[in-house]
Structure 1
Amino acid sequence: MNRPFRVLAICLACALPFTANAFQNPLSLPSKTIPHPDQAPMFAIAQAGSRTVSVGRHGVIAYQDRNGKAWRQAKVPVSSDLVGVSFVDERMGWAVGHGGVVLHSADGGATWAKQLDGKDAGQAALAYYRKHADDLGPENRDTVLKQAARWAEEATAQPFLDVWFKNESTGYIVGSFNRIMRTDDGGKQWIPLIDKIDNPGELHFYTVRGNGDDVYIAGESGSVWRWDEHKGKFILVKTPYDGSLFGLVLAGRAVLAYGMRGSLFRTFDRGASWEKIKTDVRGGIVAGDVSQTGEIIVASQSGDILRSSDNGGSFARAADPLPTAVAGLLAFPTGAYVTVGPRGVRTGESANRVPQSR
């Protein structure tokens, strides 16, 4: 089963010796304060106004203001590995990770509170579908109820792998084995959507991204799903690829999906047709972002940095790969970027030369 680099990195990072007597539930154990939080293994990064926020191993969250002062560590109530983060403005943000945990910050990432964990999510999903069983229809009622029951039984065993919020109220969380939920009240209540997505094989969801009213999810087997308002569900818009797709970049009308073996695909018609974009990268592309100026930057797990200024039609490789693996990337309007990975946070410089618009 193919999995994104950041999930592999987390699994490897957690493969440490322990004794049963020493175990403490990471969902009830606050993250430990460390001397240099920006040097801890990190798996995702986001922008909160003029602040940069990264999330990583053992619940460590680090943030830095644009003034360039030292990175500071946030107060986090869990020590679970965190792998996804989303901010809608300079204050409101959410992070997700192992144990099915969902965290919320209302102060730009300085302090966090737990909104949800895998046990609560599973119980909520099961209760919701039992209550609405008659609305599911005979063709999928049993399937959905069985999935919800497994979700509740597995409790904290499955992670949420990504989060995206449209505004302070509406957001989505996605994860392994068809786990997907939506909130319309900022995370006070989460509604399961396993009956609202074309995923009979219970493929993993690796990322969720949106642009305006369009919301996309990418995952295993070259799968991309798009929210269809008319049908009231996520419909499958299959790409010409059968490997895992780890991420999405939404740049205006263009949607780029990237994944294993340097794979990169672009669509301008909401997934009806896709074109393969040349990258000349062998490793999996695991991170990407678009700056406010429209430049698209993607990174491979091997540290390759590719940049495009023609809406993703062509990419130029940076002169030298980064000396470390990459798990997440954030692009700035200046052309600079920040990456995160097993060695923490690293800042990249502006490019000397990028492809020009066609």
Structure 2
Amino acid sequence: MNKAICIQVASCFLRKFSNVVLASLLLGSIHANATVEDAIYRPAILSELGAKAFLTSADQVGNNLVAVGERGLILLSEDDGTSWRQVSSPVSVTLTEVQFFDDKNGYAIGHGGTVLRTINGGEDWQVQLNGRQLASDLLAQAEKNKDKEAIRQATFLVEDGPDKPFLDMLVLDAQHLIVVGAYGLALESKDAGKTWVSWMDRLENDFGLHLYSIRKQGERILVAGEQGFVTLSMDDGQSFTSIETPYEGSFFTAQLQGDSKIVLAGLRGTTLVSNDNGENWKHIKNPIHASILASFINADGQITMANQAGILLGLKADSLVPVTRKRLPPLTNVVEKSNGSVLALSIHGPVSIDVGDFK
């Protein structure tokens, strides 16, 4: 892919940020394939400043919290987010997402086609996939299947280098995960990352649009991405149908509820809701035109979203409304903790939001 396209991609990363200042941080890490290639093999530097760094994702692991971020950072908290300690990471690329299936088994994904695995609650991590291995495996599969288009795409990945980020994933059990990312990357592993099967031919993504969000509810699987790309499977990922929406900008986060509700949110705060699996859509009023990068559904079924302006928004009827009193830095992600409070991830590290901080 040419450099002009790489710059366009950069405007969306470090966990899907779209402003120029944050994009410049990313450009420093992907301006040359050699830099990324070195980082996928180089362990992260241990630092006491990890809890103030650019963090992108977190997950509750039993009574602990695990967070990931720039330069391969992996942090653990054993006191509900009051303090954090860095653990060893085998890579120095930015990690974009972390998810656990249970108290022991979890995965982290990131730049350079990185997939990491832990089997002890986040204390230790091993590389399951990187961009070099990914390109080689895809080319081998394509040649085995004698698929000319797949061979062309895989050959490009081999020649272009390991600079393609993964951006979201589903962890379905201790060994089963699905990852999606830049340039239409979509892969599934059922053996903890030892082998991978491409989903790219299922998604009708001929232009290789970036895939930012993947969600599952029952047998429905939704994938959303740039330029209004949305596709839905009703059969657990065996086949997908492209969905048209009234918005052509990027969707950075999505949620599924019930049997037919879809919620999409993204660039400039645009939020859409469908109650019939994408047949019809309505725009949700949003008083703040900052990009929405993350969302979660709490135990009561309420959807909460986090935006670049440092504001948490609740979806109530046909509107988004601010739901916290606390002033926050620009947010990258948000997760509900086991006690009902919230952990927000930001460009300056994690921020705990107590129940009393909500309006």
Regarding TM over 0.5, the answer is yes
| Aligned mate of 1:213, from 219, 227, 230 | 219
| Aligned mate of 1:315, from 317, 320, 331 | 320
Alignment of 1:115-134 (within 5 A): 115-133=128-146
- Partner deviation per Cα, 1:103-134 (whole Å, 9 max, x = no partner): 1111122211100001100111111111112x
Q: Is the 8 A contact 1:304 1:320 kept in 2?
A: no
SS across alignment from 1:6: coil
TM-score, structure 2 normalization: 0.87
Alignment of 1:43-192 (within 5 A): 43-65=56-78, 70-133=83-146, 141-192=147-198
CA drift at 1:194? 1.6
- Counterpart for residue 42 of structure 2: 29
| Higher helix residue share | 2
- Partner deviation per Cα, 1:32-85 (whole Å, 9 max, x = no partner): 111142211111222223322111011001121355562121221111111112
| Aligned mate of 1:6, from 8, 12, 15 | 15
- Whether 2:311 is the aligned partner of 1:304: answer yes
The CA distance in 2 between the partners of 1:47 and 1:239, in whole Å, is 33
The CA distance in 1 between the partners of 2:92 and 2:236, in whole Å, is 41
Q: Is the 8 A contact 1:288 1:296 kept in 2?
A: yes
What amino acid does structure 1 have at the position aligned with 2:97? G
Question: Does the C-alpha gap of structure 1 residues 155 and 334 become closer, same or farther in structure 2, counting only changes over 3 Å?
Answer: same
| Aligned mate of 2:333, from 328, 336, 347 | 328
- Partner deviation per Cα, 1:314-346 (whole Å, 9 max, x = no partner): 432135573411111112365421111210111
Question: Does the C-alpha gap of structure 1 residues 66 and 255 become closer, same or farther in structure 2, counting only changes over 3 Å?
Answer: farther
- Whether 2:315 is the aligned partner of 1:293: answer no
CA drift at 1:351? 5.9
The CA distance in 2 between the partners of 1:255 and 1:125, in whole Å, is 32
The CA distance in 1 between the partners of 2:274 and 2:86, in whole Å, is 39
TM-score, structure 1 normalization: 0.87
- Counterpart for residue 258 of structure 1: 265
Question: Does the C-alpha gap of structure 1 residues 14 and 196 become closer, same or farther in structure 2, counting only changes over 3 Å?
Answer: closer
Number of corresponding residues: 342
Structure 2: tracts of 5 or more residues without a match: 1-7
Question: Does the C-alpha gap of structure 1 residues 172 and 83 become closer, same or farther in structure 2, counting only changes over 3 Å?
Answer: same
Q: Is the 8 A contact 1:5 1:286 kept in 2?
A: no
The CA distance in 2 between the partners of 1:90 and 1:266, in whole Å, is 33
CA drift at 1:10? 6.3
Q: Is the 8 A contact 1:297 1:306 kept in 2?
A: yes
| Aligned mate of 1:225, from 231, 236, 240 | 231
Q: Is the 8 A contact 1:207 1:248 kept in 2?
A: yes
What amino acid does structure 2 have at the position aligned with 1:46? D
RMSD, aligned α-carbons: 2.6
SS across alignment from 1:261: helix
Q: Which has the higher mean CA deviation after the structures are superposed, 85-94 or 316-325?
A: 316-325
The CA distance in 1 between the partners of 2:199 and 2:244, in whole Å, is 20
Structure 1: tracts of 5 or more residues without a match: 134-140
The CA distance in 2 between the partners of 1:14 and 1:276, in whole Å, is 32
Identity across the alignment (%): 27
CA drift at 1:180? 1.0
- Counterpart for residue 245 of structure 2: 239
SS across alignment from 2:201: coil
| Aligned mate of 1:268, from 269, 272, 275 | 275
The CA distance in 1 between the partners of 2:225 and 2:14, in whole Å, is 13
What amino acid does structure 1 have at the position aligned with 2:202? K
Question: Does the C-alpha gap of structure 1 residues 4 and 81 become closer, same or farther in structure 2, counting only changes over 3 Å?
Answer: closer
The CA distance in 2 between the partners of 1:182 and 1:7, in whole Å, is 22
Q: Is the 8 A contact 1:5 1:301 kept in 2?
A: no
The CA distance in 2 between the partners of 1:84 and 1:270, in whole Å, is 26
Q: Is the 8 A contact 1:169 1:184 kept in 2?
A: yes
